[in-house]
């Protein structure tokens, strides 16, 4: 069975620092045999903010019929889910946060309706990756984003131990990531590690 990778470029600025991190990871992953990569820029699809109506607790679906209708199924089908997003004003950018908030439908399914997110044979066999960049050079600049990201992965059945992070600060202007001494190398290494781990999870180890 192929390894399915679903990636979201969350920044409103296309091909900036966080998306470059994502592209480095995906470039390495798609060179691996048996890996299928699908990437979507959140600026190119419509995922409206959550209305907080809690209708999904009864309907098992969101009442807003935008691109989440098909994105939801792709999230379920993926083995590896990647979100890249920059930090704006000490938090994750609005486009990525909208996706996270709309994952309320998974929370309702899992905790209110007591329905599975993935089939039993796929539980514990998913990996989530968060890639981020920030202009500030503070060591705490990513602290506010991490709980939101963990929440997203938790409700889609990615265990905390199976979340990976690559977060690079002090890269402000577009293209600054290319001057970072370790970012590209770390992105490629992360991709190799995650694919190897997923093969082990699937029992596909030579």
pLDDT digits (tens, 9 = 90+) for 135-158: 999 989 999 999 999 999 999 999
Tell whether the model's pLDDT for residue 166 goes beyond 60: yes
**Residue bearing the bigger pLDDT, 139 or 10:** 10
Residue 1's pLDDT band (cuts 50, 70, 90): confident
Residue 204's pLDDT band (cuts 50, 70, 90): confident
State residue 205's pLDDT score.
59
The residue-averaged pLDDT of 58-72 equals 96
DSSP per residue, 131-187? EEE-SS--TTTTTTHHHHHHHHHHHTT--GGGEEEEEE-S--STTGGGG-SSHHHHH
State residue 12's pLDDT score.
94
The residue-averaged pLDDT of 167-180 equals 95
Q: How many CA atoms lie within 13 A of 107 on its CB side?
A: 14
Q: What span, in angstroms and rounded, lies between the C-alpha atoms of 92 and 117?
A: 25
Residue 75 near residue 5 (C-beta atoms within 8 A): no
Q: What percent of the chain has pLDDT over 70?
A: 99
């Amino acid at each position: 069975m192929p390894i399915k990778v679903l990636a979201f470029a969350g920044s409103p600025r296309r091909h900036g620092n966080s998306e470059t991190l994502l592209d480095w990871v995906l470039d390495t992953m798609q060179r691996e045999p048996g890996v299928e990569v699908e990437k979507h820029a959140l600026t190119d699809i419509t995922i409206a903010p959550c209305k907080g109506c809690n209708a999904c607790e009864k309907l098992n679906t969101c009442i807003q019929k935008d691109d989440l209708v098909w994105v939801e199924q792709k999230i379920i089908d993926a083995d590896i889910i990647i979100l890249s997003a920059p930090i704006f004003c000490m938090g994750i950018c609005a486009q990525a946060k909208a996706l996270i908030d709309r994952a309320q439908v998974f929370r309702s399914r899992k905790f209110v309706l007591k329905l599975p997110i993935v089939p039993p044979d796929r539980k514990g066999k998913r990996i989530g990756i968060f890639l981020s960049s920030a202009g500030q050079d503070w060591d705490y600049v990513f602290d506010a984003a991490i709980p939101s990201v963990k929440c997203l992965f938790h409700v889609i059945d990615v265990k905390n131990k199976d979340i990976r992070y690559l977060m690079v600060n002090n890269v402000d202007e577009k293209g600054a990531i290319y001057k970072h001494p370790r970012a590209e190398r770390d992105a490629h290494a992360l991709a190799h590690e995650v694919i190897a781990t997923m093969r082990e999870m699937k029992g596909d180890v030579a």
